[in-house]
């Protein structure tokens, strides 16, 4: 029988080569939501880079008010507190940046090729491996802080029937367990590296990498939003990171949030 053990956060602290991400680390064996805890830390004035990580979430948060299934001792659930000195209008790029950092870290750590389904799903072999939830908190018209929440299915073996055909884990793909600590370190270091480049050079660096790893661009899509469904071809990202969709009548519409269903690559039969 496999004995499931908690994260060795001492290993993360000792091995992490970052300037600020993870320098303050809050570990919980079980927590409601790492994003909520990180938000409370931000409100109390905790420093940029504060990392909230847990072995289990009882009320994990997904996009659009959904829950994130978070069984104990199997996956990575963590949130990073950031205080970016950028316009709130461009904050959406941090979500896209994190998705690029994740697919690169996964490939360098495991050899698996992952890609990105807009806006924040990490996919392997057309199944969801992980996701990102970014929450922005303003003070007036400026960013007070931003919480970057990440969930990655690492050593999860079984999924609820409702999502079993659409979800996967690194263990299912590789047929063996992985060291969650090593993967966490790789992701945190890559995120900080990519953030610094973004702060210095702007969204262009994120865009080129995101396009390279996207599985959405060039495809016929249906975007489901509350009270609205839009269909057309995904043609690019706008200046704020929204998905541009060209509809059948030639109109170009930008969507900032929604569920994307891929129909097929344009031109396929």
Q: What is the pLDDT of residues 212-237, one digit of tens each?
A: 999 999 999 988 877 788 899 999 99
Q: How many CB atoms lie within 10 A of CB 202?
A: 13
The mean pLDDT value for 68-89 works out to 88
Q: Which domain holds residue 247?
A: 219-265
Quick one: pLDDT at residue 60? 65
Q: pTM for the complete prediction?
A: 0.91
Query: Minimal CA–CA distance to 99: which of 76, 116, 80, 77?
Result: 116
Q: Establish if 260 belongs to a structural domain.
A: yes
Q: Establish if 52 belongs to a structural domain.
A: yes
The mean pLDDT value for 252-259 works out to 83
Count of structural domains within the chain: 2
Residue whose tokens read 């109109």: 251
Residue 228's CATH number? 2.30.30.100
* Cα 44 to Cα 32: distance, rounded to the nearest angstrom: 18
Q: How many CB atoms lie within 10 A of CB 195?
A: 22
177: tokens are 């367990």
**Quick one: 230 and 182 in the same domain?**
no
Q: Is the pLDDT of residue 171 over 60?
A: yes
104: tokens are 């690169």
* Cα 180 to Cα 124: distance, rounded to the nearest angstrom: 18
Query: Minimal CA–CA distance to 136: which of 58, 240, 215, 224?
Result: 240
* Cα 23 to Cα 16: distance, rounded to the nearest angstrom: 9
Q: Establish if 157 belongs to a structural domain.
A: yes
Helix axis angle, 180-201 to 204-213, nearest 10°: 130
Quick one: pLDDT at residue 30? 94
Q: Establish if 179 belongs to a structural domain.
A: yes
Mean pLDDT estimate for the chain: 90
Q: If pLDDT is split at 50, 70 and 90, which confidence band does 3 have?
A: very low
Q: Considering 173, 191, 213, which residue would you say is the last residue of a domain? A: 213
**Quick one: 141 and 65 in the same domain?**
yes
Quick one: pLDDT at residue 264? 59
What is the DSSP code (8-state) at residue 1?
Answer: -
Residue 101's CATH number? 3.30.930.10
Segments in 64-179 forming alpha helices (H): 92-110, 170-174
**Quick one: 53 and 151 in the same domain?**
yes
**Quick one: 234 and 121 in the same domain?**
no
Region of poorest pLDDT, from 30-39, 60-69, 123-132, 168-177: 60-69
CA dihedral 252, 221, 76, 17 (to 10 degrees): -40
64: tokens are 């659009």
**Quick one: 209 and 80 in the same domain?**
yes
Quick one: pLDDT at residue 86? 94
SS3 (DSSP) at 245? strand
**Quick one: 239 and 144 in the same domain?**
no
* Cα 236 to Cα 255: distance, rounded to the nearest angstrom: 11
243: tokens are 């998905």
Helix (H) or strand (E) holding 53: strand 51-54
């Amino acid at each position: 029988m496999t004995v499931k053990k908690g994260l060795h956060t001492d290993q993360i602290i000792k091995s992490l080569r970052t300037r600020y991400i993870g320098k303050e680390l809050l570990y919980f064996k079980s927590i409601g939501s790492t994003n909520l805890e990180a938000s409370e830390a931000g409100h109390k004035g905790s420093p940029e880079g504060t990392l909230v990580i847990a072995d289990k979430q009882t009320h994990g948060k997904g996009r659009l008010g959904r829950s994130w299934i978070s069984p104990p001792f199997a996956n990575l659930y963590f949130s990073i507190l950031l205080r970016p000195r950028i316009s709130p209008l461009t904050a959406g790029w941090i979500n896209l940046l994190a998705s690029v950092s994740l697919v690169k870290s996964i490939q360098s750590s495991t050899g698996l090729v992952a890609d990105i389904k807009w806006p924040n799903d990490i996919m392997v072999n057309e199944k969801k491996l992980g996701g990102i939830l970014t929450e922005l908190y303003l003070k007036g018209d400026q960013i007070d802080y931003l919480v970057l929440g990440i969930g990655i299915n690492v050593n999860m073996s079984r999924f609820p029937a409702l999502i079993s055909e659409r979800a996967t884990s690194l263990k299912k793909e590789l047929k063996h367990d992985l060291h969650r600590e090593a993967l966490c370190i790789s992701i945190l270091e890559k995120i900080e590296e990519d953030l610094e480049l973004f702060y210095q050079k702007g969204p262009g660096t994120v865009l080129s990498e995101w396009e390279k790893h996207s599985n959405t661009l060039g495809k016929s899509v249906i975007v489901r939003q509350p009270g609205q469904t839009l269909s057309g071809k995904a043609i690019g990202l706008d200046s704020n990171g929204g998905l541009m969709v060209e509809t059948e009548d030639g109109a170009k519409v930008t969507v900032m949030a929604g569920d994307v269903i891929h129909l097929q690559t344009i031109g396929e039969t």
